[in-house]
Chains A and B, each alone.
Chain A
């Protein structure tokens, strides 16, 4: 009877392996793959439960009272130290003896609880498929963000390249300067004289000299020239402020070590 069970358990493993092998050869389509995976997942979960059960039941001399559930989850306590002599096993290794205390019931409860949880998890996400896997989670997150953005746009809180105008408010220009120092100075020079990026103080512009052009260049970047996209990093107000700062404060100054002009000449406004 018991041998029979072990035999079945081994068969299961062999079946599983053969089964998966034939799939490998088949090189199946996406649909059949997902069915296969569902079946495999179910088998795996079943397999795990069997292994745990086998180990548990066939652990040496599970001598607790009762049968079935009670045998595994019964509430008898571990020995007190005084009476542990009774539980000493009759062997020793280099002087080390072993007691045969029963496994704490809470231990078994959590162990089998996690197995049941695991089965439920796999079934929920991959067999029934009602849980959101990561692509769906992502889609939901992005949808919510898009809705928020739409709401902001319609409320007029967002400036864009069509509605932007130069600001001459000193506070805004001051904040534009801060944005510039933090994000732009590394490439365009602390005084706009140009370094990796072009000179911003002369009358030559590669992508136009209108506030709307600057706004667009900063917002979307120019991949071919190595100008990064700032859309995700700077708020529309920040972009307006820094573009205004460049046009109002930097442009037309004559800093030392200017980079040679690039782009087309635009007459000073």
Chain B
């Protein structure tokens, strides 16, 4: 048998590993900052670029796509070569992938703090960046599939099944959700509106969690955990079962983000039942991980790498039990819009993604630098500080979520809301916010220990960019296709495997998307709901720019407690002109769907200048620049035209009249403000924002009045 000699590429795994450490520090630092901003609103230092609304997407994007993303790539580039017994398909593609991805991250950071955003969660980046992401992602895919095609192993190992699923599904999700109509170089509108946009967004959003935070990490687990424990994987059969059921079922579960919303009931129910069915497929991964450690638990005591893996996999199991539970409508009624949801997410991100990444880095960096870990003790300290950090993060947020939700729902004996003032329910949980930020700081400190420890490790070792390896070439005699060996056959065919994965994930997607079109023609229309005026549209874009939807929902659920607090519950037909939808997913502040005409123009003016003037004790940051910045009027005709292209019924030629209409309405509002003694300028952003806020949720009242 002739043995072939070749070299593993260690250079790009190294670069990705360094990038994940760097972006990890950035993402966590921003996270700690915004955690403190929630109770010290002045921490944005009075400047627009550092408000909570803009930093929150920066934190999520940096954590998901920069920290976790680079960790995935580091792990994949290292492990894929070794389970395939070959070098990566192309060094050039690796290079484009690495630098392209870093460039995208930098572009994301710059645009997000500048208020350039589509407002769709975890898909906030504007269209030029979206295109760049699609291109770089495909480069990654070609590089990965190419490597698998030229492998020297007969079969594809389970880790790579998950890598393939990651590539295929993220590509489909990203492209599907980012279909938007460009208005200017850095502004676009989602082609979907209202309920449909919400459904597509959460089909994406939920599966970004599934296929960016879950499947790639299961793949990494299947390589790094048995390697570090030096134990065989517990059950190959279980791998097959949980892999296919996981990717098939996950894709359907998105609507559980929209329970009790204006989404049709049947779609909500599908979200619920598929989430419940997802419980065991998720736990299959946890079982295979933890049971692989059978006979190696003594090593866990000494080895910090295994410690991180154990807590990581356990956290995965916890959050994938919590997820289905939160998808039950009665639990969701309590938990949605509260801190319970970020708590759930952070069990996954801090525990599963963070700890798996740390374990992997502690294992891989010494391998790449041909040395031993500088200090096991420091790694163990990191482990304990990190674990304590997670506990101090998550428990207060569970507590505050349930507390606040119960306060929102409580009635007095006279049938009135016990806490009608929303602020009261916020101030109640401030102590929890403080503890949470301490938890985050602990976790961040742990990461700094990792930086020091790995820096020292790299210092004492010497990096080997090209690692010698040898293997027997791939035996290309075809695998027999016989009973009980079907999966073995599929595993030997890269493209067949990829195609089947595509089928499994697209079926769920299509069956949900096709009825979405059905929904389009069957949303009960409301005659009195009209398109926004040019000034209101401009105000809506300012609302998006300042990311008001980070803290304020626009969706009143059909509960007595919400209808009493905010007004009539939200109907699907009210959102037909909303490109994109702005329902939000968290109520750090009150819902705004029915805020229109509730307060005077002057109230809003003073409230934006300093919320504490109108609402003493409020934790909302000040927005004084809205009173100073000139409104962007030039883009209005283009925006009107774009909206019409998307189906909003502005009359033909209206764009020519739009600026005049805008100025007329702006003058009315400015006059009203001047009558109240405010020296208002009709050309400022604040006027447009007031116009939008005063319009919100009022169309439906006209219909009631007409009746």
Contacts and interface: CB of A to CB of B under 8 A. Distances in A.
Contacts of A233: 416-417, 420-421
Interface stretch (A96-104, A168-176, A207-215, A247-255): A96-104
A121 to B, nearest CB: 5
Nearest to B491: A60
Given A17-B510, A135-B558, A145 B415 contact: yes
B276 to A, nearest CB: 5
Interface in B364-420: 412, 414-417, 420
A104 B414 CA distance: 54
A107 B83 contact: no
B564 to A, nearest CB: 4
A101 B487 CA distance: 16
A54 to B, nearest CB: 9
A98 B569 contact: no
A37 B519 CA distance: 11
| Chain B contact residues, majority secondary structure | helix
Given A55-B240, A91-B155, A117-B276, A98 B565 contact: no
B238 interface: yes
A225 B272 CA distance: 44
A24 B560 CA distance: 36
B485 A60 contact: yes
A16 B511 contact: yes
B482 to A, nearest CB: 10
B392 to A, nearest CB: 32
Nearest to A232: B564
B273 A62 contact: no
Contacts of B487: 58-60
B460 to A, nearest CB: 25
B522 A138 contact: no
A197 B677 CA distance: 12
Interface string B325-348: 000010000000000000000000
B412 A235 contact: yes
Contacts, number: 227
A142 to B, nearest CB: 6
A55 B85 CA distance: 28
A149 interface: yes
A263 interface: no
Nearest to B514: A20
B185 interface: no
A134 B260 contact: yes
Contacts of A16: 511
B511 A40 contact: yes
B281 to A, nearest CB: 7
B695 interface: no
Nearest to B612: A186
Given A62-B484, A234-B416, 19 more contacts: A13-B503, A17-B510, A20-B518, A24-B514, A55-B244, A55-B245, A59-B240, A61-B485, A95-B227, A98-B233, A101-B235, A103-B235, A114-B277, A118-B276, A121-B269, A134-B260, A137-B558, A138-B559, A226-B602
Closest 8 CB pairs of A and B: A226-B600, A233-B420, A118-B273, A138-B558, A111-B280, A97-B232, A101-B235, A94-B82
Interface of A: 2, 13, 16-17, 20-21, 23-24, 27, 30, 33, 36-37, 40-41, 44, 47-48, 51-52, 55-56, 58-63, 78, 81, 84, 88-89, 91, 93-104, 107, 110-111, 114-115, 117-118, 121-122, 125-126, 133-135, 137-138, 141-142, 145, 148-149, 152, 157-158, 182-183, 186-187, 196-197, 223-229, 232-236
Interface of B: 79, 82-83, 85, 153-155, 157-159, 222-223, 226-227, 232-241, 244-245, 248-249, 260, 265-266, 268-270, 272-274, 276-277, 279-281, 283-284, 287, 291, 294-295, 329, 412, 414-417, 420-421, 483-488, 503-504, 507, 510-511, 514-515, 517-518, 521-522, 558-560, 563-565, 569, 597-603, 606, 613-616, 676
7 contacts: A20-B510, A36-B518, A100-B237, A118-B273, A121-B272, A158-B414, A186-B616
